[in-house]
């Protein structure tokens, strides 16, 4: 067989003067080119992966999906086999008749439909009633004048003036109900200040300047700061609490809004540092594996499996890794089993927990076998010249997390108080992001802090089942005494 052109070229190069040095240089150049090709291929794969990510298989927000929105994420619950909608025995929310209507209007026929004879109210035999529920027409403002009279003592001649009621501090001012409605619309329904002022003028004839709206908000935040502090202390000592953080635009800069919540309580706070975590925390902290949470002392951790399912979905759809599909199915079934156990108010059987843990370990082992068989992301000769940890694939990093944090991932199996996800904190933070999207952020740090205090009150009031408007006009100490914790 005749030698190839490459072999002849190598022989000629080696035979030439200094051929060994030239060969070594060519080999080094080829190695560098191979490494560059490998790096470029990895870069292309990474860019293609980014194109395949959306809100259903990553932590990206739904607003980033654009017009090509993916199909809605399915529920974590397994199909029950029941029809969709309200089930038999469900109480429902149908508008019901009242036995004491405010106004009754009687309607009588004028003539008989057969012979045309005249009919009057004295000929009534029965009636059919229909009720219409409506909002009363807006009434003019009620103005209450408080007069503090002065009286002169007959014995000593000293004149004493009566004190005004608490909250009556100016010659002319708006009452508590107007302030409560303003705070509700501004901080709960998230209306911008100018639109809020227009609404108050159109519906109630109350002409408010934006400065007045800001002052009402500031006074409320100062009044309920002690309530927010009490909520923070109770969340810190709760058996299970959820934590999350998100960027917040304040004064044209990105700061951080921290959320700490339970089923009954919500606490918000603003900080310039993302790593400024809640102090004196005990119990179990549910979070999304942000590493600074592991610096908290004396707490146990539970990881959000909704994040894991999204990451596994991306590995199934983009990288086509079979172990990720098996882990996805296992976590969903474990979630379904714990949901059934909670509905029946019974703990998960120890035998089932051990079975799920064994299958979890088997899937992890399969994943490591798969990634150990994959070619290295960079050549060995390049790896020897580089410092630090060699790069790993996305699936390999997730495997390491699921392996080293196994107890935190599966804590929902052994503790009925621990949920499968961290959705509670994410739901509490979602409306805060909506406020930023509507109004573009806050102009001052004081405004952001006032908002976090008032929103802590409103979110907690909703969870407690309180009337929100009444909560805004109630004394903070009374609300603190009425807080439900379990």
Q: Is residue 314 helix, strand or coil?
A: helix
More confident residue, 74 or 485: 485
More confident residue, 242 or 92: 242
Yes or no: say if 13 and 19 are a contact pair by the CB < 8 Å rule: yes
Summary mean pLDDT of the chain: 87
The answer on pLDDT for 250 being more than 50 is: yes
Tell me phi and psi for residue 286, to 5 degrees.
Answer: -95, 125
For residue 241, what is the enclosing H or E element?
Answer: strand 240-250
- Tell me the average pLDDT across 325-346: 93
> d(Cα 266, Cα 456) in Å, to the nearest integer?
6
Three-point CA angle 22, 24, 25, nearest 5°: 65
pLDDT at 105 over 90: yes
The mean pLDDT of 445-457, rounded to a whole number, is 93
- Cα within 13 Å of Cα(398), Cβ side: 23
pLDDT surpasses 50 at 8: no
Across the range 207-228, mean pLDDT stands at 93
Confidence of residue 85 (pLDDT cuts 50, 70, 90): confident
- Comparing 287 with 17, the larger pLDDT belongs to 287
The terminus-to-terminus CA distance of the chain in angstroms comes to 86
Q: Of the spans 53-57, 207-211, 237-241, which averages the highest pLDDT? A: 237-241
Residue 74 reports pLDDT greater than 80: no
The upper half-sphere exposure of residue 86, i.e. CA atoms within 13 Å in the direction of its Cβ, equals 7
* Residue 250 parent element (H or E): strand 240-250
Which one, of 271, 235, 168, lies nearest residue 456 by Cα? 235
pLDDT exceeds cutoff 70 at 163: yes
pLDDT of 222? 95
Which structural domains are found in the chain, ordered by start?
217-303+423-481 (3.30.420), 305-414 (no CATH)
pTM: 0.79
Would the pLDDT of 258 be above 80?
yes
Please tell me the predicted confidence (pLDDT) of residue 332. 94
With cut-offs at 50, 70 and 90, classify the pLDDT of residue 379. Answer: low
Give the sheet arrangement for strand 266-271, strand by strand. Answer: 266-271, 253-261, 240-250, 283-287, 299-303
CA gap 432, 247 in Å, rounded: 10
Q: Give the pLDDT of residue 15.
A: 52
| 253: β partners | 250
pLDDT tens digits, one per residue of 415-439 = 999 999 999 999 999 888 888 888 8
The DSSP annotation for 351-419 comes to HHHHHHHHHHHHHHHHHHHHHHTSPPSS-HHHHHH--SPPP--HHHHHHHHHHHTHHHHSHHHH-TTS-
> What does the alpha-carbon distance between residue 55 and residue 69 come to, in Å, rounded to a whole number?
9
The stretch 255-267 carries a mean pLDDT of 95
Cα 164 from chain centroid (whole Å) = 44
Share of the chain above pLDDT 90, in %: 57
pLDDT of amino acid 148: 95
> In the prediction, which pLDDT does 469 show?
93
- Is the pLDDT assigned to residue 123 strictly greater than 60? yes
DSSP assigned state of 431: H
Phi then psi for residue 85, to 5 deg, are 95, -175
């Amino acid at each position: 067989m005749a030698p190839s052109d490459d072999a002849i070229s190598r022989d000629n190069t080696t035979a030439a003067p200094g051929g060994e040095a030239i060969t070594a240089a060519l080999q080094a150049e080829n190695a560098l080119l191979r490494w560059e090709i490998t790096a470029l291929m990895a870069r292309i794969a990474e860019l293609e992966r980014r194109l395949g990510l959306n809100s259903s298989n990553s932590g990206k927000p739904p607003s980033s999906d654009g017009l090509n929105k993916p199909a809605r994420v399915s529920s974590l619950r397994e199909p029950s086999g029941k029809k969709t909608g309200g089930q038999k025995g469900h109480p429902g929310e149908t508008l019901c008749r009242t036995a004491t209507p405010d106004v009754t209007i009687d309607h009588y026929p004028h003539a008989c439909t057969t012979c045309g004879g005249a009919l009057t109210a004295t000929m009534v035999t029965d009636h059919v009633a229909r009720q219409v529920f409506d909002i009363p027409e807006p009434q003019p403002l009620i103005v209450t004048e408080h007069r503090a009279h002065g009286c002169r003592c007959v014995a000593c001649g000293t004149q004493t003036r009566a004190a005004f009621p608490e909250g009556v501090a100016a010659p002319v001012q708006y009452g508590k109900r107007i302030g409560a409605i303003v705070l509700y619309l501004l901080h709960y329904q998230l209306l911008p200040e100018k639109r809020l002022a227009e609404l108050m003028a159109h519906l109630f004839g109350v002409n408010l300047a934006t400065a007045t709206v800001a002052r009402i908000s500031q006074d409320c935040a100062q009044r309920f700061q002690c309530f927010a502090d009490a909520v923070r202390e109770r969340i810190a000592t709760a058996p299970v609490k959820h934590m999350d953080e998100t960027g917040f635009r304040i004064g044209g800069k990105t700061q951080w809004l921290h959320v700490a919540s339970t089923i009954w309580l919500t606490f918000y706070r603003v900080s310039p540092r993302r790593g400024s975590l809640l102090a004196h925390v005990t119990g179990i902290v549910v979070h999304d594996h942000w590493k600074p949470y592991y610096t908290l002392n004396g707490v146990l951790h539970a990881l959000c499996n909704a994040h894991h399912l999204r990451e596994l979905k991306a590995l199934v759809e983009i990288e086509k890794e079979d172990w990720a599909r098996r882990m996805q199915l296992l976590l969903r079934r474990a979630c379904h089993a714990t949901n059934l156990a909670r509905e029946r108010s019974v703990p998960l059987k120890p035998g089932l927990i051990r079975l799920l843990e064994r299958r979890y370990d088997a899937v992890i082992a399969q994943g490591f076998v798969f990634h150990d068989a994959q070619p290295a992301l960079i050549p060995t000769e390049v790896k020897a010249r580089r410092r630090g940890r060699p790069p790993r694939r996305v699936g390999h990093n997730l495997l390491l997390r699921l392996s080293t944090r196994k107890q935190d991932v599966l804590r929902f199996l052994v503790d009925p108080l621990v949920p499968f996800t961290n959705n509670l904190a994410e739901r509490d933070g979602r409306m805060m992001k909506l406020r930023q999207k509507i109004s573009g952020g806050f102009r001052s740090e004081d405004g952001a802090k006032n908002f976090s205090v008032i929103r802590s009150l409103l979110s907690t009031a909703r969870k407690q089942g309180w009337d929100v408007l009444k909560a805004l006009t109630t004394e903070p100490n009374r609300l603190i005494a009425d807080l439900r914790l379990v």
